[in-house]
Amino acid sequence: MEHFIRIAFWIVTISSCLQAKSIRLEDLGIKRLRTEITCEQNSAFYTPENVEVRPDCLTTALDCVQKELAGTVKEECDGQKIYIEQAIEFFERVHQEQEATRNASQCQCERWPQKPFLKFLDQIESLLQLVESQKV
């Protein structure tokens, strides 16, 4: 019986550690950002797109999203700011898991097109799906 308990303990411990390493889109709270945060109609955000074509830009694109959330979104949008803070913390965790390969000249944040908030959120989801697919 004691042997069985030890095995069960290690199975739970190892599986919870493995789950902690994966990026879960639910942790970002895109749905809450969509419903709880509103931005002016003329607000625009640097929005990484087509990153799958330039994989060397992935880390820079993640940096860009985090900077937009911490800067422009936080300043120009209204609503529950706690959801923006949670999204920023989420991207900090994603950065810790990503390799730090940056191509500053070709992937600068200001080179990405500016889009409205909801399109920005759509691209964030696509970007994170790309990050997750590269881990497999």
CATH code of residue 92: 1.20.1250
19 within a domain of the structure (yes/no): no
Q: 50 is in which domain, residue-wise?
A: 25-135
16 within a domain of the structure (yes/no): no
Report the number of distinct structural domains present in the chain. 1
pLDDT in the model for residue 50: 81
Q: Percentage of the chain surpassing pLDDT 90?
A: 27
96 within a domain of the structure (yes/no): yes
70 burial (CB, 10 Å; 0-12 / 13-18 / 19+) is: middle
18 within a domain of the structure (yes/no): no
46-56 pLDDT, tens digit each: 998 888 777 67
Q: Low-confidence residues of the chain, pLDDT below 70?
A: 1, 3-27, 55, 98-105, 135-136
CA end-to-end span of the chain: 37
62-80 pLDDT, tens digit each: 889 999 999 999 999 999 8
69 within a domain of the structure (yes/no): yes
